[in-house]
Structure 1
Amino acid sequence: MNNHEQVAKNHWYRNADIPGVPGPERDLVGYGETLPKVVWNEDGAKVAVNIVVNYEEGSELTFAMGDGCNDGMYELPFDVEGQRDLAKESMYEYGSRAGIWRMFRTFDRLEVPATIFGAAVALERNPEVVERMKSRGDDLVGHGYRWIDHYHYSREEERELIALALESFKEMGLKTSGWYCREMSTNTRELLVENGNFLFDSDYYGDDLPFWTRMNGKDHLVVPYSLVTNDCRYIMGTGFGSPSDFVDYCARALDQLLLDVEHDGCGRMLSIGIHPRITGHPARIHALAEFISYAKAQEGVVFMRRTDIATTFAQQVPPPKHSRF
């Protein structure tokens, strides 16, 4: 037996996933070179840009709500332990008090639609935001009952969290056919299909285009999201040092997608993820407006709601046929 064969016999050395591990099967191939042909409107738009507002403020983990900790993802790398962190709370409150309204004004001025990734409790605590969403016609993608990591919860608990969110949305007069967790679990997608109220989820970062999956004998659409063209990079890890970095990054992403379409004729989508407590600040919203203006000036670009991207794709690219044998 040679050295390679000896190594291959060790239990940790594998060239495939272990059968029966919970969660969806990995797909490392995707579309490959054979991309589906999709255009986004009657004018033949090449790239659909989706502005995603993550509305979470008021549903994050806090001592004030009895969680025994204070959430992260805010401006400073400090943490107050064992008690409320009023500084952190106020940074979140900036998003719901000021940031979201600056966003709505910017979207109105530039005449672009938005998608709200909304946590139910956050929306419950600010009814005026809900009414503004309705009057603007922005679509809702469920972002959980609260802004909490779903992988912390059992299958039964997660099923209840999804149901609670849907009931809350219904009571507020909101509808959704899409879902995006803070952090999904290995059960999330299966539970969404089991629930039966969802056309798609966005708990995936591995592609530039929607694609169909098969879950428990049912077709289910995935509309990928992005943490690359996302304002979380202002405050997390190596990312944007200034608002100009955000503009440059998003503009270059759009330019490349347009080049991709020129090469193969297949439409693309671009998700721009923002948060009221982050991009809602003046300098950063100015950068977002600059990118929107740039994108609107490019031929073949259309701004779309995520639900419309999902339905447009589904109309042009139906689920693959599955053999009974």
Structure 2
Amino acid sequence: MSLDPQFFRQDDVANVPGPPRDLVGYGEFPPRVRWANEAKVAIQIVVNYEEGSEKSFAMGDGVNDGMYELPFAVDDQRDLAVESMYEYGARAGIWRLFRIFDAANIPVTFFAAAVALERNPAVAEKLARRGDEAAGHGYRWSNHYEMTRDEEREAIRRAIASIEKTTGKRPTGWYCREMSVNTRDLVVEESGFMYDSDTYNEDIPYWTRVDGKNHLVVPYSLVVNDARYVVGTGYASPEHFFETAKASLDRLRNDGDDVGRMMSIGLHPRITGNPARADALARFIDYAKQFDDVAFMRRIDIAEKFAEQVPAPTD
């Protein structure tokens, strides 16, 4: 057996589409940042609002979405069980989450699929009234890597117009379901976004360069993410979610240095909107609020606070 010479490469292949990889980042000495009220840890709760925009036979896609409570699949016709699970998120789950956020008086960011807000305008009205952020999460909840560059450009454009119409404000942040090698270029090309979150490679925002322009990345995380209740090796009970969230916050507050970092929590109304899981979320919020060095912030506020303290490079 002989290995392909490609196996022995030490660097990435030149001229591969998409952003270059960076395996170094801030290294041992990240910038010292502080968040709202001089907090050391910024907790950023994301509500992935996608219900009604997912792939389905009902929407003419000829396929059903697969993120479901049980490992069953209907391949050649409408899957009414999956559809009804998504309906639960829009009908009941989202309002349970809003009640928790209202009781705790905390702001959140919505990764909002535009069509989902169009199909339930009361949700768009509520998040706008609360002052929550609606970041772009696609026109529909679809994979951008399946699109051509022109198709993706059009999908981003339509998402912006739709979200601005339903919430009264243009999105200034972006996060795909699954990005393409063109996504960041197109986000920067569009020029109205302050940041994107299409990466999982840091605990702190960072600047990057796209087509000669500075662009801010506010990373996301899939660790404290309720999708782990239903996919992969994830949470078997709400206690696992609570324990993971608590351990994440405890470590970030005492991480061995004086660096301020962010903690991302990803939620879906159809998942954490269920009572037992919502209870774990509410208990974690109560736990976190007892600390003076912790702040709950919208993603756009984290971006702006970081940019104040770590301005974009000038060279």
Which TM-score band applies after superposition, normalised by the shorter structure?
over 0.9
Secondary structure of 1:294's partner?
helix
Residue 267 in structure 1 maps to residue 235 in structure 2: no
Query: 1:78: how far off?
Result: 0.8
Count of paired positions: 313
Query: 1:313: how far off?
Result: 0.4
Question: Structure 2: how far apart are the matches of 1:316 and 1:62?
Answer: 45
Give the % identical residues: 61
- Residue 89 of structure 2 is matched in structure 1 by 95
Query: 1:192: how far off?
Result: 0.4
- Residue 227 of structure 1 is matched in structure 2 by 222
Q: How large is the RMSD of aligned CA atoms in angstroms?
A: 1.1
Match of 1:81 among 61, 75, 93: 75
Residue 64 in structure 1 maps to residue 63 in structure 2: no
Match of 1:50 among 44, 49, 57: 44
Residue 203 in structure 1 maps to residue 209 in structure 2: no
Name which of structure 1's ranges 161-170 and 60-69 shifts more when overlaid on structure 2. 161-170
Question: Structure 2: how far apart are the matches of 1:272 and 1:115?
Answer: 10
- The residue identity in structure 2 corresponding to 1:128 is A
Query: 1:72: how far off?
Result: 1.1
- Residue 165 of structure 2 is matched in structure 1 by 171
Structure 1 or 2, whichever has the larger Rg, is 1
- Residue 282 of structure 1 is matched in structure 2 by 275
- Residue 258 of structure 1 is matched in structure 2 by 253
Query: 1:157: how far off?
Result: 0.6
Secondary structure of 2:46's partner?
strand
Match of 2:123 among 110, 119, 129: 129
Name which of structure 1's ranges 246-255 and 297-306 shifts more when overlaid on structure 2. 297-306
Conservation of the 8 A alpha-carbon contact between 2:161 and 2:170: no
Match of 2:132 among 118, 127, 138: 138
Secondary structure of 1:270's partner?
strand
Q: Where does the alignment leave 5 or more consecutive residues of structure 2 unmatched?
A: none
Residue 154 in structure 1 maps to residue 148 in structure 2: yes
Question: Structure 2: how far apart are the matches of 1:175 and 1:316?
Answer: 25
Secondary structure of 1:308's partner?
helix
- The residue identity in structure 1 corresponding to 2:289 is K
Question: Structure 2: how far apart are the matches of 1:72 and 1:298?
Answer: 39
Match of 2:16 among 9, 21, 24: 21
- Residue 3 of structure 1 is matched in structure 2 by none
Query: 1:10: how far off?
Result: 1.7
List structure 1 segments (4+ residues) > 3 angstroms apart after TM superposition: none
- Residue 213 of structure 1 is matched in structure 2 by 208
Secondary structure of 2:265's partner?
strand
Q: Where does the alignment leave 5 or more consecutive residues of structure 1 unmatched?
A: 1-5
Query: 1:12: how far off?
Result: 3.8
Question: Structure 1: how far apart are the matches of 2:164 and 2:295?
Answer: 30
CA displacement, residues 11-51 of structure 1 (integer Å, 9 cap, x when unaligned): 3431110110000000000000121111112x321000011
Question: Structure 1: how far apart are the matches of 2:192 and 2:309?
Answer: 21
Query: 1:321: how far off?
Result: 3.0
Question: Structure 2: how far apart are the matches of 1:139 and 1:289?
Answer: 20
Question: Structure 2: how far apart are the matches of 1:320 and 1:130?
Answer: 36
Question: Structure 2: how far apart are the matches of 1:30 and 1:139?
Answer: 28
